[in-house]
Chains A and B, each alone.
Chain A
């Protein structure tokens, strides 16, 4: 006995009682000794449509064997209401495994949790009718390349600093990194960016021409390493300046021999190689010590604090590691606890902006976010608002060094 959103939708048209509340009351009458599995919205099981689809299937199967109904809300919650305890426990275990680092579903027991159920059902709304399945053959595909040609690079190209920071020593600017902002690119591409593979293809196409379209010396003084995105599977072009390090996604490590050959070809053309995308989930799969790259760009998330990540990094020389995506002091704390000395991310950008503002004699009404945004952008117009372009281009004021 499974209520689909369509059937519940008919119930909605029949009466003034919120349909979920009606269903909850009805089921509650028979639910003594039974339980509910509740999946909160926005979690690892409900946050994305494809994951919610899988979670719904598992709940529906549980309803088939243990009884009960599956309810779904506009907010993306899922509830299996009134099923047998043992079935719920089994299903909850599977769901908890799928949820990975996050918590699994809540188990509500009846009648003890009846109030909780009624409060939830009274506030919840039914989901709108499912949107039509998107057409996989997009007629707009042929326009993608032309859109990329027409896209001003500085609208999507951003600059990040990689800071070398060891306890007891002043921070140093270790390297600069130019990267393509995925959100800015998605905004530029419109509906086509809804397909993750098309978006990554667009990134690849832009990356392929990036080495010949770099911002000038006035933005990036050629006094240190510069990291640039590289396209997957294209031969390298000769490095237009010294200190270039190409950044490939971790997928490039899928074929170790090919990666080693790419690294050698890049070295021949004057490039170093970095691999990006080493997040907590990736560190559970790969042994980073064996990756054929000069630099490994780790991606911070609180899940990094697990033992698995630390174990995967043990023994790696800190000079090969950069912790990217640092969004607060806890990222730096964790990195330091692992012996990491190179950091990047919004927290670093904020620290650098604060240091620049403190050292800048020309800063009058500049805010820290403003200064951070001007340093990150590669568009001359936005940078022109800064009256101290030399300091802006240095990223880190000399006084702090």
Chain B
């Protein structure tokens, strides 16, 4: 397996998605063996089992035109020309390793391009899902009050933001690309985790104006941190999501000065539609200031954007992926900028999201698939 990877013929989930797309586009048939190792009973999933499977596969695949892909959950996928004898050998090798009934339920054979959708769904299922809500999330229905905000703000005074800062690469990825190119790095504060860590017992979303104040406070903390010379030196192209009020704060003015003209043109600042609509005049002022300074501005939309980008005078649309997007069809398309290079699909964690993005001409993505492996940073 290591040898296969070294030979450039193996790959990860992203490469497999690329292969599926290719097969669909070209119509060249392929046969795919999905080894659902993640489904095996825990006693068959220990390290040495995995190694045994790999060792069984290697001699079979080395001389062939088959390709091996490993998925984040430990599943393996072998793709080969149809009726390749190698797949039969792989199957046989596996049956010698595993109890018969287990091996059969752990194996799925799919044909491309006919069963592309099923394979993409399998890839998506293999992507380890992140936790829906952090453990100890606030109980539902508890109202976020000014008193609770006061406690949170006090607790925040003694906490470093670094542990709650998430770095998310935003990548250019075109259908057929070998690997994604990082365009800029999104810096986000994980508000729910921060709330839990600070013992918030209610969700700030239940009091929109208090949440706005909290966001402003966090913006300023973050900007002050980023404006420190050693931080600023390290900072490459960066994406931030800030409240409109923060764009005229003293902290922002210091940050933008430290960035310099060259840093500003590489930076993308996302704005929330509720901030824009709450104070349209302040938004227009902040927008014109930021644009005059060279920043690119983005609208953060969690579905079809409520406002057309050009009317807002913004550069990018950051569209949050949800499985509902494809269903919106033409009504969504009408609200997307014609130049799809101006759209970023965020939260594109699965193959389905990226596939949909490509169909819509979108090539900028942020999502779990594109993050470096390892603990979420």
Contacts and interface: CB of A to CB of B under 8 A. Distances in A.
Interface of A: 44, 50-51, 53-54, 57-58, 94, 97-98, 100, 133, 136-145, 195, 197-198, 200-201, 204, 232-233, 249-251, 253-257, 277, 279, 281-282, 284-287
Nearest to A56: B253
A281 B284 contact: yes
Nearest to A133: B250
A53 B307 CA distance: 29
B288 to A, nearest CB: 5
A57 B284 contact: no
B248 A54 contact: yes
A205 to B, nearest CB: 8
Interface stretch (B13-21, B75-83, B298-306): B298-306
B311 A284 contact: yes
Contact of A195 (B213, B278, B281, B311): B213
Given A97-B292, A142-B150, A284 B216 contact: no
Nearest to A44: B285
A53 B257 CA distance: 13
Contacts of B213: 195, 197-198, 201
Given A54-B253, A198-B146, 4 more contacts: A57-B253, A94-B288, A98-B289, A286-B311
Nearest to A199: B209
A394 B324 CA distance: 50
Interface of B: 145-147, 149-151, 153-154, 156-157, 205-210, 212-213, 216-217, 220, 245, 248-250, 253, 257, 272-278, 280-281, 283-285, 288-289, 292, 302-304, 306-308, 311-312
Given A144-B147, A232-B208, A285-B307, A98 B288 contact: yes
A133 B308 CA distance: 37
Contacts of B303: 255-257
5 contacts: A137-B156, A137-B157, A141-B153, A144-B145, A251-B278
B34 to A, nearest CB: 36
B209 A198 contact: yes
Contacts of A277: 277-278
A254 B253 contact: no
A100 B213 CA distance: 26
Contacts of A197: 209-210, 212-213, 216
Contacts of B248: 50-51, 53-54
A325 to B, nearest CB: 14
Instruction: Identify which of B149, B245, B311 gathers the most chain A CB atoms within 10 Å of its CB.
Output: B149
| The 4 A-B residue pairs with the shortest CB-CB distance in the complex, in nearest-first order | A141-B150, A144-B146, A254-B273, A281-B280
Contacts of B216: 136, 197
A282 B283 CA distance: 10
B292 A137 contact: no
Given A54-B248, A57-B253, A282-B277, A254 B150 contact: no
A253 B210 CA distance: 19
Contact of B209 (A94, A232, A255): A232
Instruction: Identify which of A54, A204, A253 gathers the most chain B CB atoms within 10 Å of its CB.
Output: A54
B141 to A, nearest CB: 11
Contact of B210 (A140, A143, A201): A201
Nearest to B312: A285
Contacts of B147: 141-142, 144-145
Contacts of A138: 150, 153
Instruction: Identify which of B146, B278, B288 gathers the most chain A CB atoms within 10 Å of its CB.
Output: B146
Contacts of B146: 141-145, 198, 201
B272 A254 contact: yes
A285 B276 contact: yes
Instruction: Identify which of B212, B249, B280 gathers the most chain A CB atoms within 10 Å of its CB.
Output: B280
Nearest to A275: B277
B199 to A, nearest CB: 15
Contact of B280 (A50, A255, A285): A285
A56 to B, nearest CB: 9
A215 B308 CA distance: 42
A284 B280 contact: yes
B306 A254 contact: yes
Contacts of B217: 136-137
B249 to A, nearest CB: 7
Instruction: Identify which of A136, A277, A287 gathers the most chain B CB atoms within 10 Å of its CB.
Output: A136
Nearest to B207: A201
Contacts of B280: 250, 279, 281-282, 284-285
Nearest to B306: A256
B209 A141 contact: no
Contact of A201 (B209, B245, B278, B308): B209
B124 to A, nearest CB: 24
A100 B156 CA distance: 37
Nearest to B151: A142
B207 A285 contact: no
Contacts of B276: 254, 285
Contacts of B285: 44, 51, 54, 98, 100
Contacts of A53: 248, 250, 253
Instruction: Identify which of B249, B274, B285 gathers the most chain A CB atoms within 10 Å of its CB.
Output: B285
Contacts of A250: 277-278, 280
Nearest to B147: A142
A335 B150 CA distance: 45
B86 to A, nearest CB: 50
Contacts of A198: 146, 209-210, 213
Nearest to B335: A256
Contacts of A284: 280, 284, 311
Contacts of B157: 137
Nearest to B305: A256
Instruction: Identify which of B151, B154, B213 gathers the most chain A CB atoms within 10 Å of its CB.
Output: B213
A257 B157 CA distance: 37
A284 B289 CA distance: 17
Contact of B277 (A58, A141, A142, A254): A254
Contacts of A51: 248, 285
Contacts of B304: 256-257
A286 B302 contact: no
B208 A233 contact: yes
A206 to B, nearest CB: 12
Nearest to B261: A61
B281 A100 contact: yes
Contacts of A57: 253, 257
Contacts of B274: 251, 254-255
